[in-house]
Structure 1
Amino acid sequence: MSFVRTLFEDIAPEQMGFTYSHEHIVCIPAHWQERSAYDLLLDCPEKSCEDVQDFVNLGGKTIVDATAIDYGRCIEDVAEISRKTGVQIIGTGGFNKGFLWDAQLSPRLRNILGSYETYAEWIEDRSINELADYVIHEVEEGIEDSSYRAGQVKFGTGYNSISPLEEKTIRAVARAHLETKAPIHAHTENGTMALEQIEILRSEGISPEFVSFGHMDRNLDPYYHKQIAMTGAFVSFDGINKIKYGPESARIAEILYLVKEGFEDQILISGDTARRSYYKHYDFGPGLSYIKEKWVPRFIDEAYFAGFDGNALIQKFFVSNPMRCFAFKD
């Protein structure tokens, strides 16, 4: 039987309910902290908790926290928010992307990883299988030094490029998936390199149907998205309301194009709410309530005018598709 792994327990996929498939709840990335980029520091658990509570009050049940170790993961704070609000949280093992790895490690992580100064040094020094063992530990034993187990594994690559260290982490995460059956999430910088990532995964024996590719709406290219979807992978539109990457009309039109082409069962929707200015209770942004409260009704309207059943599609994007995407299965 398949199951979904939350921070506290394994649940049946049917228990997930309405799900945001890619968010960040509390995180303090060392790379941005060193540069005093305060907008990228979600460092107040109380304010993050208020936004999560807004989501729960609207009927939200599950959030996938996509924060990996190299993006300033604060697993104890996130677990406490789960306790306080009752939201089910899926944690993430694995890695983010290369340029963040040059940041200095905090004393806490240096204690976990050893005497290294940066993630890049640590990754360079470890074999692929040693890195895979680390990710397996996060899934089967606990994230960092906690008892909270990861419910997905992640890798990432840069803009229009895959560095040797990034390829190393792709292969490590692939091998961790083969061992644990944990679902895989791929960070794509500005929606690039997904097809190249798929080539590497296939060389490790991975079927793309077990992978979700993030930030697809930062590269609104119908042909490209169709090529990815044709592999069986999940296509994640996780930049809702980020108008700087494109108007909402273009994002919805792209989603409906994939629906028309027959890929409605492979679409995920979320906000990747990783800035203070995106959060309502930090800096008066749209917040975690925005998608369910405002975007969903708009999408239903636009889908209806395009000849689709918007309510049925919303059920797929936020309930049925996450149930399949985030399940551990052979």
Structure 2
Amino acid sequence: MTGDPEIRTVLGDIDPAELGVTNAHDHLFFASALLPGQELDDPAAAAAALSRFREAGGTALVQWTPHGLGRRMCELARISRETGVHLVGATGLHRAEHYAPAALSRVADDLAGVFVEDLTGTTGPRAGLVKVAGAFHTIDSHARLTMTAAAVAHEETGAPIAVHLELGTAGLETVELLCGKLDVPPEKVILGHLNRNPDPAIQREIAETGVFLGFDGPSRANHATDWRLFDGLEALVEAGHGGQLLLGGDTTTAAARHQPGAAYLLTTLAPRLTKQLGGDVVTAMLVANPARAFATSWLK
């Protein structure tokens, strides 16, 4: 049964109009063997980071940490309740390199089923999106497997699909697979890390497909391309794609939590963008666009 579009937060479904000022891609909890010693696994630190974001004017944060990487959904629910900030959690799988082979084998036989259970289950907080990942400049066999499972989960639930593009690459290939071959509507697909591959022609071509484009920086990992974020966004707005743009912080390490941190999106990045693009445009990126990108008429 379907109804009006809603956003599935860790505390339950809400009207998209309630979401407000949104960090559309970040992490309060994240732990990967690829980032030893930089785990985001401290609930008190997560709550403090979320409080700073709230004090800066934020009302919602979307955590893209997928299945098996320490997403801590129950802790998300607790700190959402304590801080009053809406939190959206994720299911899905990251690149294979983030997992031990045994961990992948445990879910490989029914990947779509795992995703659907996370999205619709009756025990514990539910995820509100499926996060998957491409490989560097290609869709490898693992990405094809996870994206196919994500498409099945979308078909069964209506959930939006968020995609980590490795260093911002393979965006068109991802759209071709998800929207072309797997029939996921473009407006249900969010491509992340477009700022990491600041090719204006590619960004424009991706935008013309109708998907949402995530510019999730700056962060400590992306400083080489951060300075091109502003001109890239301006070009897309001038081309008529302002309604497809999302902004996030993408804090994936303990070091980045403190410098710049999730609040940087609102304390520093948004004011700079406002001077260049205008307040209405930036407000749309932070409020109206995420309210559409993460909303769906849930099927289960």
The question of whether the paired residues in 1 share the 8 Å contact of 2:5 and 2:295 is answered with yes
Task: Work out whether 1:251 is the aligned partner of 2:235.
Answer: no
What CA distance in whole angstroms lies between the structure 2 residues aligned with 1:249 and 1:10?
37
Specify the alignment match of 1:18 in structure 2.
21
Task: Name the aligned partner's letter for residue 295 of structure 2.
Answer: A
Whether 2:252 is the aligned partner of 1:271: answer no
Which residues in structure 2 correspond to 1:74-93 (within 5 Å)? 74-93=72-91
Answer yes or no: is 1:229 the counterpart of 2:241. Answer: no
Query: Which residue identity is paired with 1:49?
Result: A
Name 1:316's counterpart in structure 2.
284
Q: Aligned to 1:83, what secondary structure does the other structure show?
A: helix
Return the letter of the residue paired with 2:37.
Y
Give the aligned CA root-mean-square deviation in angstroms.
Answer: 1.7
Q: Flag the structure with more relative contact order, 1 or 2, with Cα contacts below 8 A and sequence separation at least 6.
A: 2
Alignment of 1:1-330 (within 5 A): 1-29=4-32, 31-32=33-34, 37-39=36-38, 41-101=39-99, 103=100, 117-119=102-104, 121-124=105-108, 126=109, 130-141=110-121, 146-201=123-178, 202-242=180-220, 244-280=222-258, 285-303=259-277, 310-329=278-297
What is residue 113 of structure 1 aligned with on the other side?
none
**Alpha-carbon distance in structure 2 between the residues aligned to 1:96 and 1:60:** 26
Following TM superposition, by how much is the alpha carbon of 1:241 offset from its aligned partner in structure 2, in angstroms? Answer: 4.6
Q: Which has the larger radius of gyration?
A: 1
Q: Distance in 1 between matches of 2:82 and 2:53?
A: 13
- Scaled by the length of structure 1, what TM-score is found? 0.85
Deviation, structure 1 residue 9:
1.0
SS of alignment partner, residue 274 of structure 2: helix
Which letter does structure 1 place at the counterpart of 2:54? Answer: V
In 1, Cα distance between the equivalents of 2:66 and 2:221? 25
Amino acid at match of 2:275: D
Counterpart of 1:60, as a letter, is: G
Q: What per-residue deviation string (whole Å, max 9, x for no partner) do you get for residues 44-85 of structure 1?
A: 111121111011112211100100013222222222211221
Contact kept in structure 2, 1:238 and 1:270, CA below 8 Å = yes
Question: How far apart in 1 are the matches of 2:66 and 2:219?
Answer: 23
Percent sequence identity over aligned pairs: 31
2-side partners of 1:123 and 1:140: how far apart? 17
Q: Distance in 1 between matches of 2:222 and 2:146?
A: 30
How many residue pairs match? The answer is: 294
- Name the SS of the counterpart of 1:160 in structure 2: coil
Q: CA deviation at 1:278?
A: 1.1
* Contact 2:34/2:97 (<8 A) preserved: no
* CA displacement at 1:247 relative to structure 2: 5.0
Unaligned stretches of 5+ residues in structure 2: none
Deviations 1:132-164 (A, max 9, x none): 12111111115xxx5101111121122123221
